[in-house]
Amino acid sequence: MYGDQIDQIIDKYGTEKGILIQLLLDIQHEFKWIPKEAIKKISERLKIPYSQIFRVASFYAALSLKPIGRHLIQVCLGTACHVRGGAKILDAVENELKIKAGNTTPDTKFTLSGVNCLGCCAQGPMMVIDDDYYGGVTVTAVKKNLEKYE
């Protein structure tokens, strides 16, 4: 299904050493996830064991082995955001989208993730949608923020 596109991405790197993570990131960028077909093809073409590629792909939070929605929502649950209500923000997003963190809406519009830190502790609680950062988020602001991506 993705074969030709995967081959093109692999061809970009050839047989360079140490390119696995960047290769997986490029595949993730192209498809919004890393299909098993891609892992198999990388394994065959680069002679890297399937299990090694799978371990790398499942280790890094930036990589996903299941489809991601068109919009990725991350809610910070780090200490600073937590004490400022980060868990309530996550609950509000879950209620609004009718999914739990770690899942994608049935229409594949949104994927929701709770993260340990977004690096904006002074502005917590933080919520990121795609590349847009929202600081000082309140429960009532959640719906307004999500509406921008409808």
| pLDDT tens digits, one per residue of 78-128 | 999 999 999 999 999 999 999 999 999 999 999 999 999 999 999 999 999
* Dist CA 127 CA 142 (whole Å): 9
List the one residue out of 126, 36, 37 whose CA is nearest residue 85: 126
Q: Is the peptide bond before 35 cis (omega within 30 degrees of 0)?
A: no
Going along the chain from its start, the domains and CATH numbers come out as 3-59 (1.10.10), 71-147 (3.40.30.10)
What type of residue sits at position 112? L
Task: Return the CA Rg of the chain.
Answer: 18
Instruction: Round the average pLDDT of the chain to a whole number and report it.
Output: 93
CB 10 within 8 A of CB 42: yes
Tens digits of residue pLDDT in 10-40 = 999 877 778 999 999 999 989 989 999 999 9
Q: Is the pLDDT of residue 63 over 80?
A: yes
DSSP 128: E
Check pLDDT > 80 for residue 142: yes
pLDDT, residue 104, reads: 93
Instruction: Tell me the CA distances in angstroms from 75 to 12, 67, 87, 117, one per residue in order.
Output: 34, 19, 8, 9
pLDDT at 17: 78
Local structure of residue 121 (DSSP, 8 states): G
- Contact by Cβ (8 Å): 75, 101: yes
